[in-house]
Chains A and B, each alone.
Chain A
Amino acid sequence: MTRLSKYHLALIGVAALILLMSLVRVASGQNDITSSGTFAAALLLAVPIGLAGLGGLWAERAGVVNIGLEGMMVLGTWFAGWAGYQWGAWAALLAGLLGGALGGLIHAIATVTFGVDHIISGVAINLLGPGITRFLSEVFYKDGTAAADAGAGFTGSPAITSPAPTPSLPLLSDGPDLLGKLEGTHWFLLSDLAGILRGLTHEVNVLVILAVLLLPLTFFVLWHTPFGLRLRSVGENPWAAESLGVNVYRIKYLAVVVSGAFAGLGGVFLVFVSSKYVEGQTQGRGFIGLAAMIFGNWRPGGLAIGSSLFGYASGLQLRSTGAITTVFLFGAVLLLIYLIIRVRRMLSPDRPAELAARSAREYTLMAAAAAGMVVLFWLWLTVDQLPNEFVYMTPHVLTLLVLLVASQRLRMPKADGVRYRRGEQH
């Protein structure tokens, strides 16, 4: 498939999705499905996940599995809070980034230099991260310090000062706020579009914009520069890279440190959201980032979709506990579409012989889809409110489902998690 048609497909997909959302909104009467508030919240929640995912992407594309993202993110939050209350948002950004990078460096030393199993090192870092931050809190925020007077404690920093500016798009989402007015009318499709656009443009933190830009930047660096090619080759076949004079150790070190920095940056945005460091505020988002990356098949575009989806789910729940149940309706409609496509393909006369042999499996699959559709529809009709816990686990369940359905098609870097030592062939 050429690049052009892929791009067009993506556009068509987005359009279809918006149409579907709009339909579901009208059918269910839940305006929050496409409200600007939901999308603003979704953006805010998606950024840390996406950044953690980017961290995962950098490390794993260089062949180092990084389940220590969570610990690195924790380090990021603490340093962001500590620098933020003293010197403001930009300092918070830098400090959080460095804090995460420090975690990445530890991971790199253990896995690259000493050849420790990547999973094991990651677990150790996840243990160490909260330990170090608690310790730092106990040292820097203990009673009698200036920080404690400013409202710090063992479990949180003082509020960060001088937050970054939050500009809006003039005219459209501010001032006359045309989009806002349009959204308020609740017209089919038009208001939905307006809500989405306004949510993504009204009072958006500049740092959020920068963070979102890191995604295309990563794509550019990894796929269009010599360094990126070397990095990916190291994750695919480090021995091949070594044989061509690539310094595998250096690239792995760099990638893992950058990975930690991204995770730390993700932590910084959590601090921005609650405007201070709070112990345990990552709430496993490092792992969700990892999930988003796997969901996105180790690619920046897929990662973006994954983190948007996960961000949206939590954003919607935050806005309205009732609206999230329409996800059931949404799922039912998707299954219906899938079924229609399947049936049409089955009825088409010129099927290759190979497909005919698998028809028994096909029928069970379709039956399962139909049953799932009925169950989802029934759930939509009967459940008014979904307990928070079930919303929280959506990303994890979705990732599990993706793994189950598409694990054969997912393509992780071939030498991901493989121990590499210079001069030692596998």
Chain B
Amino acid sequence: MPAGLNRALLTVAGAVVAIVLAVAISSVAITAAGASPLDAFAAFFDFGATPRAVSNGIAAFLNRAVPLFIAGLAVAVGFRMNLFNIGVEGQYRLAAIVAAYVGSTFEAPAPIQIAVIIVVAAAVGGLYALIPAVMKVTRGVNEVIATIMLNYVAINIASYLVRGPFAGQRAAGQLTTTTPQLPESAMFPNLNFLFEGFGLLPPTRGGGLWGFLIVAIVLGVVIWVVLERTRFGFNVKASGLNGPAALASGVNPKTMVIAAMVLSGAIAGLIGLPEILGDKGAFNSNFTAGLGFLGIAVALLGRNKPVGIAVAALLFAFLDRAQGPLQIANVPPSVITIIQGVTVLLVVVANEVTTRLALRLEERRAAQQLSSKTPVEVAA
């Protein structure tokens, strides 16, 4: 068996064990709460009674997965080189409000309008991530602390902007403040026709299936190619595995920190766009929060690899979607967060264990294959 495949199998096995364990732990919690785990798991697969409800359920599931996937990608770019961008949360919120506001100030043909909004969002996210990167490179400030602090700065700026300078018209009786509504040309066309292709009714709620899904898939492929096939990706990997060796090989660590951080921030800038361009058409004061932190979980679950992140995002979204059905089944819906949290914790533990195991196996295998040929060598 090739060495790479062997390692991959071990990883998958570890993840499966972790998820099974997480399900077991949550079953205990559900039972303790006086509900039946079976009902709960049935609820996860209960997409609705009517065909329309099923379509809506599927759309909600995929719509949730898209921002989670983008958030996971953003985090993973940094994690790959041991750069902890905990600031994705702040970066996406700031980017979302600025992009929503800029997009509402002009009107252009749809492709241009949308492209401008995307570019603005990426630029704002990237620039905001540049702050901790520059702090790290010039003053040696730990990026974890800096990004945590900047999260709160960004969240506060965003909530100031949405009720102050960037506030739009508030409809009568509406409690939330919001940025001005985007023009029609800014709304990303939905993908409801896909449902018809599968013989289902198109979803009707929440703007249908958001077209931004396409952008996310393209982004995922691009990031995969960048990380796995380009020189930049190689340098990211080398810096992450062994900083001094990367330095000696001619990689400039400062450039890498800035590049990776800005790339991570730019991707983070896109996290809020599916919701804005697919449904809301504005950034308002109860805009979906916490995607940045969930993105960290998703990236960890997906082991910082685009395919893994996609799977993890789908898993999280699948769980999140069951909020309603769980309530109907009389199961506390917050069990979802518990499953997610426990899964992440167990998966990182499993990663740790399987990595160590895989390395040891590989050492032993190499030693065995060679033992017939070479004399035994002594280790210090």
Contact = CB atoms under 8 A, between A and B. Distances in A.
Indicate whether A and B are direct neighbours in the complex (CB within 8 Å): yes
A420 B158 CA distance: 40
B86 A123 contact: yes
Given A116-B348, A400-B146, A128 B33 contact: no
A128 B148 contact: no
Contacts of A123: 86, 293, 296-297, 300
B6 interface: no
B300 A119 contact: no
Interface stretch (A219-227, A376-384, A389-397): A389-397
Interface in B132-175: 135, 139-142, 144-146, 148-150, 152-153, 156-157, 159-160, 164
B139 A407 contact: yes
Interface residues of A, number: 44
A131 B341 contact: yes
B145 A399 contact: yes
A115 B348 CA distance: 10
Contact of A120 (B32, B146, B334, B348): B348
A124 B29 CA distance: 18
A230 interface: no
The B interface, classified by DSSP as helix, strand, loop or mixed, is helix
B156 A389 contact: yes
Given A106-B345, A139-B32, A287-B148, A114 B139 contact: no
B338 A67 contact: no
B152 A403 contact: no
Binding site of A, secondary structure by majority: helix, strand, loop or mixed? helix
B33 to A, nearest CB: 4
A389 B141 contact: no
Interface string A282-315: 0010010011001000000000000000000000
A36 interface: no
B260 interface: no
A287 B151 CA distance: 10
B242 interface: no
B353 A124 contact: no
A294 B135 contact: no
Contacts of B135: 400, 403-404
A134 B341 contact: no
Nearest to A403: B141
Contacts of B332: 134-135, 138-139, 142
A127 interface: yes
Contacts of A115: 352
Contact of B149 (A110, A142, A399): A399
Contacts of B152: 284, 287, 392-393, 396
Contacts of B159: 389
A38 interface: no
Nearest to B144: A119
Interface in B62-90: 84, 86
Q: Which of B34, B146, B149 has the most CB of A within 10 A?
A: B149
A325 interface: no
A127 B349 contact: no
Contact of B139 (A137, A397, A408): A408
A134 to B, nearest CB: 4
B140 A408 contact: yes
A361 B340 CA distance: 51
Interface in B187-206: none
A404 B146 CA distance: 10
B39 to A, nearest CB: 15
B293 A138 contact: no
A134 B342 CA distance: 15
B266 interface: no
Given A110-B348, A123-B297, A404-B139, A392 B156 contact: yes
Nearest to B333: A138
Contact of A135 (B29, B344, B352): B29
A294 B349 CA distance: 28
Interface in A83-136: 106, 110, 114-117, 119-121, 123-128, 130-132, 134-135
Contact of A121 (B29, B157, B348, B353): B348
Given A135-B337, A287-B148, A404 B141 contact: yes
Nearest to B84: A119
B120 interface: no
Nearest to B29: A135
A387 interface: yes
A309 to B, nearest CB: 15
B153 A396 contact: yes
Contacts of A117: 348
Contact of A393 (B156, B345, B348): B156
B33 A114 contact: no
A114 B333 CA distance: 30
A185 to B, nearest CB: 38
Nearest to B140: A407
B345 A403 contact: no
Interface in A154-177: none
Given A389-B157, A390-B156, A403-B146, 15 more contacts: A110-B345, A114-B349, A120-B296, A123-B86, A127-B297, A127-B340, A139-B34, A142-B332, A287-B148, A290-B148, A387-B160, A389-B159, A389-B160, A396-B149, A400-B150
Interface of A: 65, 67, 106, 110, 114-117, 119-121, 123-128, 130-132, 134-135, 137-139, 142, 284, 287, 290-291, 294, 387, 389-390, 392-393, 396-397, 399-400, 403-404, 407-408
Interface pairs A-B: 7 shortest CB-CB: A131-B337, A128-B341, A138-B332, A134-B334, A389-B156, A389-B160, A396-B149
